[in-house]
Amino acid sequence: MKRAMSTMGWMAGLCLLAVIGIASVAAQQASTPLVTAQDLLAGLKNPTRWLTYSGDYSGQRHSPLTQVTPDNVKRLSAQWTFQAETLALNRGFEATPIAVDGVLYLTGSFNYAWALDARTGRPFWRYKRDLPNNLTYGASAPVNRGFAILGDRLFMVTLDAHLLAMDRRTGAVLWDVVLADYRVGYSATLAPLIVKDKVIVGISGGEYTTRGFIDAYDPQTGKRIWRTNTIPGAGEPGSETWPNVEAAMRGGGGTWMTGTYDPEQNLLFWGTGNPNPDYYGSDRQGDNLYTCALLALDADTGQLKWHFQFTPHDLHDWDANHVPVLGEVAIGPDGGQPRKVVMMANRNGFFYVIDRTNGKLLLGKPFGEQRWARELDANGRPIVLNVTGEKECIPDAHGSTNFQPPSYDPKRGLFFVNTRETCAAYFPAKQDLIPGLASVGGGVRRVSDRNTYGALRAIDPRTGNRAWEFRYPSPTLAGVMSTASGLVFAGDHEGNFTAYDALKGKPLWHYPTGSSIWGAAPMTYMLDGRQHVLITAGNTLVSFALPKD
């Protein structure tokens, strides 16, 4: 374990800490109750808090708040903005802030981080990690998707594949542990997930000769408690889906998006990424488990309970690094008894409803307009169509959707997801596989502009049918949030932040942020009797609320 030192101002060392008004935030937090495991289980029941990446363990990103409604949302106005000094080309913020009793904790590109006054956006403290100059995956995707919080500690992963524990009052680093060797292609970009007494994290780097994993760490000491590899070792179940050990051990399967948790079953649900190389599969014949899959893991031990693979032997970089959404759904148009399910709109163009107690497919139906596979067999395997030329319409490598979070409104029974419509051609090519160098195995390009657009879609998970859609001029990677008042908030590639009627899809209000909203999703909280709605766009965080009456 490597222990980093915190410093005031700009100073040399492993980390650089700039502090503004530490005394004020420390005083404010001294009387604030610590965040407990029970608080995390309660999720969004405390309206002043947003304690996890998705708001709660379900991944629904559905707020119980009702102050902002379809009738008054047109009065929503910007209250403050926070402008980060970091620059990440074409990306910017992808994090969801943690909100705790009047303070926001936010991470940015290149492992910057801030504590902000939730009333004004004023920084209390600022942190910047001193990153090495020879980053691999972290250099091409220098993003971070947020903190986790427990007690008085924040937890953040880094582009050089470390996990940090930080004092939330000051931003000082309390411990610093290595997840993997960044020099061979590993990185870490997700928001950790706290489950009971463990910090759960995943790893990035599937475009390199890496082997994905999910880890659990002790929040007090940083000691690793368990590790589950997403690529099976020799003789382990699933190893028969790889041609040899060499292909498997550099087989990818990154775990770079935050999962969800079912306390009743004590199960973690986590998506896995593409096999390596991305497009060239001749040297990795087989289904390549457990890539492009959903894993259900025992939260105490990391033991794999079941898996569901969405795209066997993927050749299109269609990761399953989506947020798994938990709910109870009565499958079929005639209803019946609700089933405990996990829902995913997958990059491959299919929407899935899976029994989360056993991993059995309950429903699988296209939610996009792709024509590479129009149905699934009884086991959920795509039945690929043999089409070429103008009839071919394979989603590009970003897929029919990507890592941007969806939302689920359990009262209205609708799943909301920003969808991408593209047609692309893939060109596989054999290449040398060298540790530390990307090995995608070919390329991809768009083949038709006439089929290229984006859409916010509402899906009925009982049937897989589309309830409504709102189209954008171009595909988007922006996330979604819904509220109990009947609103859906979503961004788009052009930088518009829009509120929609949840039942009809009618746009009711929008705000032009001036920057593309890439990967970021909205969040909301109550403060001083007012509901704030936040979105990040480019390098700016904007807070909205209704006018004071």
Give the DSSP letter string of 424-444: EEEEE------TTS----EEE
Residue 8 has pLDDT above 60, yes or no: no
Q: What is the pLDDT of residue 27?
A: 55
Q: Which of 251, 273, 257, 266 is nearest to 441 (CA)?
A: 251
Residue 547 has pLDDT above 50, yes or no: yes
Q: What is the CA radius of gyration of the chain?
A: 22
The residue-averaged pLDDT of 452-481 equals 97
Residue 364 has pLDDT above 70, yes or no: yes
Residue 12 has pLDDT above 90, yes or no: no
Low-confidence winner among 23-32, 404-413, 456-465 (lowest mean pLDDT): 23-32
With bands split at pLDDT 50, 70 and 90, how would you rate the model's confidence at 234? very high
Order of strands, edge to edge, in the sheet holding 414-428? 407-409, 414-428, 442-459, 466-472
Q: Is 371 exposed, middle or buried (0-12, 13-18, 19+ CB in 10 A)?
A: middle
The residue-averaged pLDDT of 164-170 equals 97
The residue-averaged pLDDT of 77-94 equals 84
DSSP 265-322: TTEEEEE---BSSSS--GGG-S--TTTTEEEEEETTT--EEEEEESSTT-SS-----S
pLDDT in tens, 258-302: 999 999 999 999 999 999 999 999 999 999 999 999 999 999 999
- Average pLDDT over the chain, rounded to whole? 92
Per the CB < 8 A criterion, the answer to whether 522 and 507 are in contact is no
pLDDT in tens, 246-260: 999 999 999 999 999
The residue-averaged pLDDT of 219-235 equals 98
Token pair of 222 as six digits: 């940083």
Full-model pTM? 0.94
More confident residue, 6 or 371: 371
Low-confidence winner among 138-152, 350-364, 377-391, 462-476 (lowest mean pLDDT): 377-391
Q: What is the pLDDT of residue 87?
A: 65
What distance in Å separates the CA atoms of residue 367 and residue 421, rounded to the nearest whole number? Answer: 10
Residue 65 has pLDDT above 50, yes or no: yes
| The pairing of beta strand 77-83 with beta strand 540-545 | antiparallel
The catalytic residue positions are 319
pLDDT in tens, 500-536: 999 999 999 999 999 999 999 999 999 999 999 999 9
Q: What is the pLDDT of residue 19?
A: 41
What distance in Å separates the CA atoms of residue 465 and residue 296, rounded to the nearest whole number? Answer: 26
Q: What is the pLDDT of residue 90?
A: 59
Residue 20 has pLDDT above 80, yes or no: no
Per the CB < 8 A criterion, the answer to whether 273 and 319 are in contact is yes
Residue 67 has pLDDT above 90, yes or no: yes
Q: What is the pLDDT of residue 492?
A: 96
Phi, psi of 431 (to 5 degrees): -145, 160
With bands split at pLDDT 50, 70 and 90, how would you rate the model's confidence at 341? very high
